[in-house]
Amino acid sequence: MINYILKRLAVAVPTLLLLIIISFLLMHAAPGGPFTQERQLPAAVLANLEAKYGLDQPLWRQLLSYVWGIVAHFDFGPSFIYKDRTVNEIIAQGFPVTLTYGTVSFVIAILVGVSLGIAAAIRHNTWLDYLAVGVSIGAQVLPNFVMAPLLLLTFTWWLRWLPGGGWEHGRWEYMVMPVIALSTSYMASIARLTRASMLEVLTSNHIRTARAKGLPERKVILRHALKPALLPVLSYLGPAFVAMVTGSVVVDFFFSTGGIGRSFVDSALNRDYAVMLGITILVGALTIFFNLVVDILYGWIDPKIRY
């Protein structure tokens, strides 16, 4: 097991490196640079700027010194657009915010989603099932950029219950709408996946055997059905978490939470090479980490899987 984890981590390094190179090249291939502006800069000024940020160097050199900065000093360089700040600072400020509301959303999505899915499967073909299916389809279908203005309209403008945006170091009233907007569709997906796979497991042979042995239904479900039923859900969780981090752009857009999602899209549109690469690497590392966790959980749930 430990060997396996070490092996995976060893693969992670080249993966990240590849990721850096791909993103770096893509970014530089796009037209326009960080200093492309409506008021075109005089050549001399542009040359000064490019010299300051090392953009006058050949591409491979830029890449090399960038990677070296990360490896040697964990330094992702300065932002080209937010010139008072380094990438490290931007990430240090935005990431905890995203991580906080992302994790809260994630936990809620799993708890509610899995319970809803199981309940629907157990009460297959009852009103609860239909309600759960209906609600989860409905929730999945409503894009969060529709939900966010609706929430704002309802809770801020109409009822005046919640502040319309901001973060204020994570006070709960600032977190309610972001969490609802972010978690709902994932909750629905998880519920549907859980329900489908639970239904499948419940008709399988080993459950029939368990039932035939006369075990109480609650035990059958908790001890025998739950674990295998969660397998496909597990596969979904890693990517879902990462999608929440990157998908938080809508939350940041509407609720001014100052998270990393908005910086992510902004940096691409602004050609803020350093910020964009920094966030890409962070998201990449997170993805790798989560996939590893999911794979380990897989092994724990289904001992038949060998590494």
Partner 1 sequence: MVIDATRMKNLGDRFAEGEVRGRSLWADARRRFFRNKAAVGGLVMLALITLLALFGDSLAQWSNEEIDFDVMGQAAQVGQPSIGNGHYFGTDDLGRDLYSRTLQGTRISLMVGIVGSLIAVIVGTLYGAVSGYVGGRTDQILMRTVDILLAVPFMFVVILLLVMFGRSLFMLFFGIGLMSWLNMARIVRGQTLSLKHKEYVEAAQATGVPTFTIILRHIVPNLVGIVAVYATLLVPEMILIESFISFLGLGVQEPLTSLGALISEGARTIYYGTTWQLLWPLAFFVATLFSFFFIGDGLRDALDPKDR
Partner 2 sequence: MHKLLLTTALGLGLAFPAAAATLQPGETLAANQEYTYWLLDAIKSLDPQINTDVEGSGVLRGLFEGLYNEDQVGALVPGVATSFDLSDDKTVYTFHLRDNAKWSNGDPVTANDFVYSWKRLADPKTASEYAWYMELMQVKNSADIIAGKKPVDDLGVKALDDHTFEVTIEAPLPYFPKMLTHASTFPVNQKVIEENGDKWTEPGKLVGNGAYVLKEHILGEKLVMVPNPQYWDNEHTVLTKVTALTINDENAALTRYLAGELDRTQIPAGQYPRLKEEYPDQAISVPQSCSYIYMFNLDKEKGPEALKDVRVRKALSYAIDRDTIVDKILQGGQWPSYNWTHHATEGFKMPDIDYSHWTQDERDAKAIELMTEAGYGPDHPLALTLNYNTSESHKKIAIAVQQFWKKIGVDLTLNNMEWKVHTDKMQNQDFEVARYAWCGDYNEASTYLDLFTSYSGHNNGKFRSERYDELMKESKTAADPNPMYTEAEQILADEMPMAPIYQYTKVEMIKPDMRGLGLNNLMQNWYLKDMYRVAE
Give the chain's radius of gyration (CA, Å): 24
- Shortest Å, Cβ 293 to partner 2: 29
Q: How far is CA 64 from the centre of its chain?
A: 29
Residues whose CB falls within 8 Å of the CB of residue 83, separated by 6 or more in sequence, listed in order = none
Q: What's the CA gap between 236 and 97, in Å, rounded?
A: 23
Which residue of 200, 211, 215, 258 would you call a contact of partner 1, by CB under 8 A?
Answer: 200
Q: What's the CA gap between 251 and 263, in Å, rounded?
A: 12
Q: Does 304 bind partner 1 (CB under 8 A)?
A: yes
Work out what residue 42 binds among partner 1, partner 2, none; the CB cut-off runs from 5 to 8 Å by kind. Answer: partner 2
Q: Please report which residue ranges of 123-171 form alpha helices under DSSP H.
A: 127-141, 144-151
Q: What's the CA gap between 278 and 100, in Å, rounded?
A: 19
Q: What is the DSSP string of 193-244?
A: HHHHHHHHHHTSHHHHHHHHTT--HHHIIIIIIHHHHTHHHHHHHHHHHHHH
Q: Which of residues 258-287 bind partner 1 (CB under 8 A)?
A: 264-265, 268-269, 276, 279-280, 283-285, 287
Q: What's the CA gap between 248 and 144, in Å, rounded?
A: 10
Q: Which of residues 9-48 bind partner 2 (CB under 8 A)?
A: 30-33, 35-42, 44-45, 47-48
Q: Which residues pair with 86 in a beta bridge?
A: 78
Which residue of 116, 262, 267, 288 would you call a contact of partner 2, by CB under 8 A?
Answer: 262
Work out what residue 203 binds among partner 1, partner 2, none; the CB cut-off runs from 5 to 8 Å by kind. Answer: partner 1
Q: Does 81 bind partner 1 (CB under 8 A)?
A: no
Q: Name the residues that contact partner 2, by CB under 8 A.
A: 30-33, 35-42, 44-45, 47-49, 51-53, 78, 81-86, 90, 93-94, 148-149, 152-153, 156-157, 160, 163-167, 252-254, 256-259, 262-263, 266, 269-271
Q: Name the residues that contact partner 1, by CB under 8 A.
A: 11, 15-16, 18-19, 22-23, 26-27, 29-31, 125, 130, 133, 137-138, 140-141, 143, 145-146, 149-150, 153, 157, 185, 189, 192-193, 196-197, 200, 203-204, 228, 231-232, 234-236, 239, 242, 246-247, 249-250, 264-265, 268-269, 276, 279-280, 283-285, 287-288, 291, 298, 302, 304-305
